[in-house]
């Protein structure tokens, strides 16, 4: 079994020839390995030797990547347990149907798209999983979670077709989701196929990070005894190109730190991405190995198929290994594109000894030397090892060919974009995979449906039965849920007794209180990306502890203090460190747990609002696709309320981004009781009423006395607008709207207007412009579609009812946020907002700069009144001066 690595002696002329000495050492070592228990023993001895060499001052750096051969030597493999012949046929039929689905649709509807080459490289990797590994359930517990490369969806549909779960009509309607018959979505989207897909994966990098945090969240639920511990695994099939995304590698060390042996990555290393090679001048597999090993993962390389085993066994000189090592991916691509004769010349031909090694091979046979990722035996053994590996995650780096089996497109740079096959390619495909359909049918790209009673289909079904059923499958597991009554939040509905507090403080107390709720407290998951102290959440750390998979391995220095930094095996809080992306992935695992585990976990993910939607918007989009529930809490919100921090920190637009997510209800509350009402109702709607939605709520760090909830305001708070202070002296002739702390500026403006200018104004708190807009658009749509029916009126107009005069809306967000309702208010509506880059200064100066302070609101109200002839224009001009408004100053938009 022992192999000599090609050894290069030092180039020095006078140096002795060391190769013999090296051979002797290797031989002795081989004897040790071959002795009884020698395998483990020799590994330990090597380690001890390496430590000793280091102590003696020798610089023996241990390489982070291993030779370019399979990690599991052939001699250690177990035989394949399945019926290879049937499995090969099944796989071939799936390959054909997957290809036909895309081909077909693009012939019918040019440009509709779809992918052939990704699945053709992935097929064997997933088929071995479907036939032997992926469990659909563990007793009454959910089974494995499988994240599949999004672009491989046709293959997954094609399998479900053979399983009898999808009909031919489904396949006919791949990417035709808007027809009267059932359609199939382009990629895995739980929103679109809620009974099929569990995890959205198609945006590159989202799947790897979500898979890691899913596996971690599984441990969290187990450690907290919310679900029983099972051997359940998270499998993530990802592309080698996809691994370039920062999200894909950014959280790898968490997986090893948290010892996630429930996590298996399979990287489909077809060496190519969309445009061409991932690493043409290097080797992506070696690079990935180094990254994963460096991050503490167990790495299994599956590079070479069984045909290579005898060649490697004869490679006494190590030249074959050397050749494998020295070729870069660009050359490996060449071999696949150009075929056997080229391989003989360029790969083996470089060394006469290697040319000799394959002298008996025909060119055709050389062309058929498979890579490991297409060899069931190699894949099976890799998966088996991965399952047996304890105390950490495993990655399988499987070498494959992109476009495998697709005649003229195999391994070519353009293969990713291949949508239609030529007649010739279809025939080649048919012949190569022995598809039992007629030539004419093949030309059409017809689907192949095997007879229901053929042994292959019986086998396929039986294998799935043994593993607990079909997968992927999304089924909303039923759960009981009772929302606590609003009285449970009573203390937050009262005033703060003149004590100045911030909405953030109010929220944190509410969260602490909710965590103690006897029934649902256990389901609450506070998540922070290293911002607990920023939000005053440190008391939570002590109250519920931070989840640490191994507990706290040291006695913290502050142990004697009341609020010490408590980490625990069953800690309830997820302190993710500085990773908003990771925190969002945790939020995603928690927010979809109601479905994946049947447990109504309620995430509260609190983050710096500037680093939320703007930074991790795509993860939030995927969260919505996954029908995620929970609360995103944007802290230190507002471009002028977060004082001092300046341009990169002051958020004035997250609400705009949140508005675009269909299932996200975004609120910008001014008072603690508003937050209490919104959270209470949110919990009820999401978990009791089972609505698939989530909330974005901004919270601020400005302290001011909080008033109490007034009777009759609840509906307005939830729907987006309600009156907080009616004009004291007579009927208001101008309306002032404020959100968040800017509501205080509106209230101050109300005083100035009445005391300095004798103008009565009403003040409204607008908790959500986007909810108002959605409601308005809904009414409008209904009216448009039902011209003969009585017209519906948007809630906004009902709320404002006979409110008179100009309406001035001031926000700590950009003007487009209030502008969402401009449409219904016409010229009456005047908007003040914080468009432009932030500045480091205090609130007073920031609000003056952005023209959202009480003076700016007063000035706008007077201007507006002057325009409609209700206030003298010259007096208005003078008022602006009196209010210290610099009318000639540069627009803050570009200042
Ligand atoms: C975030 C993101 N950027 C770009 C794309 C477009 N895209 C789709 S597939 C692909 C290449 C994928 O390469 P790889 O991950 O190696 O998968 P393969 O198809 O080779 O298996 C790209 C860039 C995307 N889906 N998501
Ligand atoms: Mg690839």
247 close to ligand 1 (CB < 6 Angstrom): no
- State pLDDT tens for residues 401-437: 999 999 888 999 888 888 889 999 999 999 999 999 9
- Residue 240 tokens, joined: 């080698």
Q: Is the pLDDT of residue 13 over 80?
A: no
Q: What is the DSSP letter of 862?
A: H
If you measure from the C-alpha of residue 416 to the centroid of ligand 2, how many angstroms do you get, rounded to a whole number?
A: 9
Q: Is the pLDDT of residue 440 over 80?
A: yes
Atom 13 in ligand 1: residue holding the nearest Cα: 273
242 close to ligand 1 (CB < 6 Angstrom): yes
Q: Is the pLDDT of residue 100 over 50?
A: yes
Average pLDDT over residues 354-359: 97
Determine the Cα–Cα distance for residues 189 and 627; give it in Å rounded to an integer: 10
Q: Can you give the pLDDT at residue 213?
A: 98
735-744 residues labelled b (16+ CB within 10 A) or e (exposed): bbbbbbbbbb
Q: In the block, which residue shows the tokens 């003989």?
A: 344
Q: Is the pLDDT of residue 121 over 90?
A: yes
| Contacts of 440 by beta carbon, 8 Å cutoff, 6+ apart | none
Query: Helix 854-867 and helix 843-850: axis angle, to 10°?
Result: 20
Nearest ligand, CA of residue 121? 1
Determine the Cα–Cα distance for residues 235 and 581; give it in Å rounded to an integer: 20
Nearest ligand, CA of residue 237? 1
Q: Residue 119, exposed/middle/buried by CB under 10 A (0-12, 13-18, 19+)?
A: buried
Q: Can you give the pLDDT at residue 4?
A: 45
Pocket test for ligand 1, best of 151, 236, 246 (most atoms within 8 A of CB): 151
Phi, psi dihedrals of residue 830, rounded to the nearest 5°? -125, 130
Q: Residue 511, exposed/middle/buried by CB under 10 A (0-12, 13-18, 19+)?
A: buried
270 close to ligand 1 (CB < 6 Angstrom): yes
- Residue 661 tokens, joined: 């997510």
Determine contact, residues 363/340, Cβ cutoff 8 Å: yes
Q: Can you give the pLDDT at residue 185?
A: 97
Distance from chain centroid for Cα 765: 35
If you measure from the C-alpha of residue 274 to the centroid of ligand 1, how many angstroms do you get, rounded to a whole number?
A: 6
Q: In Å, how far are 247, 476, 856 from 197, measured between CA atoms?
A: 22, 11, 51
Spell out the alpha helix ranges (H) of 758-853. 769-785, 795-800, 816-819, 822-825, 843-850
**Atom of ligand 1 at shortest range from CA of 115:** 19
Q: Is the pLDDT of residue 397 over 60?
A: yes
Q: Half-sphere exposure of residue 690, counting CA atoms within 13 Å on the CB side? A: 10
Percent of the chain with pLDDT over 70: 98
Determine the Cα–Cα distance for residues 124 and 204; give it in Å rounded to an integer: 22
- Of 238, 298, 247, 309, nearest to 270 (Cα)? 238
Strands (E) in 256-333, as ranges, are 263-269, 298-302
Average pLDDT over residues 569-588: 97
Spell out the alpha helix ranges (H) of 592-730. 593-596, 613-625, 654-659, 672-683, 714-719
Average pLDDT over residues 694-701: 98
Residues with a beta carbon under 5 angstroms from ion ligand 2:
239-241, 270, 272
Q: In Å, how far are 243, 776, 788, 790 from 782, measured between CA atoms?
A: 46, 10, 11, 10
Spell out the alpha helix ranges (H) of 516-642. 538-544, 580-591, 593-596, 613-625
- State pLDDT tens for residues 708-733: 999 999 999 999 999 999 999 899 99
| Contacts of 785 by beta carbon, 8 Å cutoff, 6+ apart | none
Determine contact, residues 746/737, Cβ cutoff 8 Å: yes
- State pLDDT tens for residues 628-661: 999 999 999 999 999 999 999 999 999 999 999 9
Atom 20 in ligand 1: residue holding the nearest Cα: 273
Determine the Cα–Cα distance for residues 529 and 508; give it in Å rounded to an integer: 15
200 close to ligand 1 (CB < 6 Angstrom): no
151 close to ligand 1 (CB < 6 Angstrom): yes
Pocket test for ligand 1, best of 242, 275, 404 (most atoms within 8 A of CB): 242
With residues binned 3-state (H G I as helix, E B as strand, rest as coil), the percentages for the chain, rounded to 5, are 45, 10, 45
- Residue 170 tokens, joined: 């489904």
If you measure from the C-alpha of residue 414 to the centroid of ligand 2, how many angstroms do you get, rounded to a whole number?
A: 12
- How long, in residues, is the chain? 895
Q: Is the pLDDT of residue 1 over 50?
A: no
């Amino acid at each position: 079994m022992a192999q000599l690595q090609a050894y290069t002696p030092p180039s020095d002329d006078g140096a002795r020839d060391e190769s013999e000495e090296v051979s002797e050492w290797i031989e002795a070592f081989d004897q040790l390995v071959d002795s009884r228990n020698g395998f483990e023993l020799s590994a330990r001895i090597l380690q001890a030797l390496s430590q000793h060499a280091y102590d003696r001052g020798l610089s023996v750096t241990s390489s982070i990547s291993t030779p370019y051969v399979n990690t599991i030597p052939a001699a250690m493999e177990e035989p394949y347990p399945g019926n290879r012949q049937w499995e090969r046929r099944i796989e071939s039929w799936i390959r054909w149907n997957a290809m036909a689905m895309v081909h077909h649709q693009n012939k019918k509807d040019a440009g509709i798209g779809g992918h052939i080459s990704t699945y053709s490289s992935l097929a064997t990797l997933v088929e071995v999983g479907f036939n032997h590994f992926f469990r659909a359930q563990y007793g009454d517990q959910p089974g494995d979670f499988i994240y599949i490369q999004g672009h491989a969806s046709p293959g997954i549909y094609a399998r479900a077709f053979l399983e009898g779960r999808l009909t031919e009509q489904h396949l006919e309607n791949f990417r035709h989701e808007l027809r009267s018959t059932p359609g199939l979505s382009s990629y895995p989207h739980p929103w679109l196929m809620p009974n099929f897909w569990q995890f959205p994966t198609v945006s590159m990098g989202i799947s790897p990070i979500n898979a890691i945090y899913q596996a971690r969240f599984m441990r969290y639920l187990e450690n907290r005894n919310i679900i029983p511990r099972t051997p359940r695994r998270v499998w993530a099939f990802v592309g080698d190109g996809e691994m370039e995304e920062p999200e894909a590698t950014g959280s790898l060390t968490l997986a090893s730190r948290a010892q996630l042996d429930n996590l298996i990555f399979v990287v489909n290393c077809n060496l190519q991405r969309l445009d061409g090679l991932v690493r043409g001048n290097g080797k992506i597999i070696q690079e990935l190995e180094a990254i994963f090993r460096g991050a503490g993962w167990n790495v299994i390389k599956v590079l070479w198929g069984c045909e290579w085993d005898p060649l490697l066994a004869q490679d006494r000189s190590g030249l074959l290994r050397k050749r494998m090592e020295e070729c870069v991916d660009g050359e490996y691509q060449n071999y696949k594109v150009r075929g056997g004769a080229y391989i003989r010349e360029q790969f083996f031909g470089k060394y006469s000894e290697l040319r000799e090694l394959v002298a008996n091979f025909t060119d055709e046979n050389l062309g058929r030397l498979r890579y490991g990722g297409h060899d069931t035996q190699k894949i099976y053994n890799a998966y088996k090892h991965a399952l047996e590996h304890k105390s950490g995650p495993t990655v399988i780096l499987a070498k494959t060919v992109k476009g495998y089996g697709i005649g003229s497109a195999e391994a070519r740079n353009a293969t990713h974009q291949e949508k239609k096959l030529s007649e010739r390619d279809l025939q080649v495909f048919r012949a190569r995979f022995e598809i039992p359909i007629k030539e004419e049918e093949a030309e059409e790209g017809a689907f192949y449906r095997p007879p229901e009673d053929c042994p292959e289909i019986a086998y396929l079904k039986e294998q799935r039965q043994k593993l607990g059923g079909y997968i992927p499958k999304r089924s909303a597991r039923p759960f009981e849920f009772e929302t606590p009554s609003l009285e449970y939040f009573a203390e937050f509905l009262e005033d703060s007794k003149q004590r100045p507090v911030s909405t953030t403080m109010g929220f944190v107390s509410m969260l602490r209180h909710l965590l103690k709720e006897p029934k649902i407290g256990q389901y609450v998951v506070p998540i922070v990306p290293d911002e607990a102290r920023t939000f005053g959440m440190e008391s939570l750390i002590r109250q519920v502890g931070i989840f640490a998979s191994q507990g706290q391995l040291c006695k913290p220095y502050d142990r004697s203090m009341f609020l010490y930094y408590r980490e625990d095996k069953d800690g309830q809080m997820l302190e993710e460190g500085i990773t908003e992306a990771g925190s969002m992935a945790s939020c995603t695992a928690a927010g979809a747990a109601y479905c994946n585990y049947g447990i109504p976990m309620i995430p509260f993910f609190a983050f710096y609002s500037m680093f939320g939607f703007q930074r991790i918007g795509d993860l939030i989009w995927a969260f919505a696709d996954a029908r995620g529930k929970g609360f995103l809490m944007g802290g230190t919100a507002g471009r002028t309320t977060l004082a001092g921090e300046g341009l990169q920190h002051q958020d004035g637009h997250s609400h705009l981004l949140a508005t675009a997510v269909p299932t996200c209800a975004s609120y910008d509350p001014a008072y603690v009781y508003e937050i209490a009402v919104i959270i209470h109702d949110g919990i009820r709607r999401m978990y009791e009423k089972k609505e698939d939605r989530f909330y974005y709520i901004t919270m601020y760090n400005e302290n001011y006395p909080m008033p109490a909830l007034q009777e009759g305001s609840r509906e307005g708070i939830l729907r987006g607008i309600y009156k907080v202070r009616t004009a004291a002296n007579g009927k208001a002739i101008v309306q002032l709207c404020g959100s968040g702390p800017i509501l205080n500026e509106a209230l101050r403006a109300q005083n100035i207007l009445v005391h300095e200018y004798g103008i009565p104004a009403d003040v409204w708190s607008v908790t959500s412009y986007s909810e108002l807009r959605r409601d308005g658009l809904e009414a409008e749509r209904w009216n448009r579609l039902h011209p003969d029916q009585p017209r519906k009126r948007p809630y906004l107009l009902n709320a404002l009812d006979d409110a008179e005069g100009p309406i001035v809306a001031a926000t700590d967000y950009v003007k487009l946020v209030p502008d969402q309702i401009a449409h219904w208010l016409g010229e009456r509506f005047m908007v003040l907002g914080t468009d432009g880059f932030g500045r480091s200064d205090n609130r007073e100066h920031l609000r003056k700069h952005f023209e959202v302070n009480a003076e700016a609101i007063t000035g706008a109200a007077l201007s507006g009144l002057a325009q409609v002839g209700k206030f003298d224009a010259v007096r208005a001009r003078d008022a602006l001066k009196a209010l210290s408004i610099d009318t000639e100053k540069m627009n803050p938009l570009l200042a």
